[in-house]
């Protein structure tokens, strides 16, 4: 059960908590594909082959295990490998990545997200904690966050407790004074619990909880979180 009186800060997952990530990535992939057709058509043709895309990704992952937590670095390495393999100019990897990255920041918020963010930010310091490479400022939500901690910035990904502890330190809180909110049972909830935080599970799809440890709160949307915290939306 949630101990509201102990909460001094909120840490918040982004992808699939505030917006659905699949359509976001699909649009970014399409923007990249369209750009490659114009600037590196041989690479664009190569990447139409799903088996080739998988082969390139596997090769990049194998060559860069140190970057497993860094989606941006892996994406850039993937583009460099694809361009080189196709015989296009490898210098195009950086501008191609920028096209993808810019499109990746265009998100469609869940209907409950914006009002809930405003209510949370008015009461608590809110820190983004994400394994992905969304940027809360580029997304347009920067005013609601006092900080952002990513796998890329700290060198490890959720569910490693270090990323949660880094977020807590960023707002000068002990882990047990922080409520982490996220959609992923393993990465968000169990990771936060192991780090000593309270945890709220955003379960938009009515999934069944299948773990021995339980979240302090299960909710189907962010407005329910606000209600549990006594906040008006």
- Per-residue pLDDT reduced to its tens digit, 41-87: 999 999 999 999 999 999 999 999 988 889 999 999 999 999 999 99
Nearest-CA neighbor of 164 among 146, 152, 144, 179? 179
Portion of the chain with pLDDT greater than 90, in percent: 96
- Which class would CATH give 22-104? mainly alpha
- Reported pTM: 0.92
Topology alike, domains 4-19+108-228 and 22-104:
no
Cα distance between residue 146 and residue 200, in whole Å: 20
Q: CA 228 to CA 3: how far, in whole Å?
A: 10
**Consecutive H or E run containing 129:** strand 126-130
Provide the pairing of β-strand 147-150 with 9-12: unpaired
**Class assignment of domain 4-19+108-228?**
alpha beta
Q: Which two tokens stand for residue 3?
A: 């101990």
Site of tokens 């983004």: 128
Give tens-digit pLDDT for 165-183: 999 999 999 999 999 999 9
pLDDT at site 182: 98
What residue spans define the domains of the chain?
4-19+108-228, 22-104
């Amino acid at each position: 059960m949630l101990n509201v009186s102990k909460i001094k800060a909120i840490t918040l997952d982004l992808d699939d908590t505030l917006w659905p990530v699949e359509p976001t990535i699909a649009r970014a992939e399409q923007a990249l594909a369209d750009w490659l057709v114009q600037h590196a058509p041989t690479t664009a043709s190569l990447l139409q082959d799903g088996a080739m895309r998988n082969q390139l990704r596997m090769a990049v992952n194998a060559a860069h295990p140190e970057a497993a937590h860094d989606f941006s670095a892996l994406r850039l390495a993937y583009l460099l490998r694809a361009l080189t393999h196709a015989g296009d100019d490898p210098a195009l990897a950086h501008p191609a990545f920028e096209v993808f990255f810019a499109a990746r920041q265009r998100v469609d918020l869940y209907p409950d997200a914006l009002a809930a963010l405003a209510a949370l930010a008015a009461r608590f310091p809110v820190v983004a904690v994400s394994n992905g490479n969304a940027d809360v400022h580029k997304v347009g939500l920067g005013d609601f966050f006092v900080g952002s901690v990513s796998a890329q910035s700290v060198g490890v990904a959720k569910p490693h407790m270090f990323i949660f502890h880094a977020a807590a330190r960023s707002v000068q809180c002990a882990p047990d004074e922080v409520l982490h909110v996220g959609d992923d049972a393993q990465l968000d909830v169990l990771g936060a619990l192991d780090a000593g935080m309270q945890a709220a599970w955003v379960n938009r799809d009515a999934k069944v909880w299948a773990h021995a440890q339980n979240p302090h709160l299960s909710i189907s949307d962010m407005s329910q979180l606000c209600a549990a915290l006594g906040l008006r939306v």
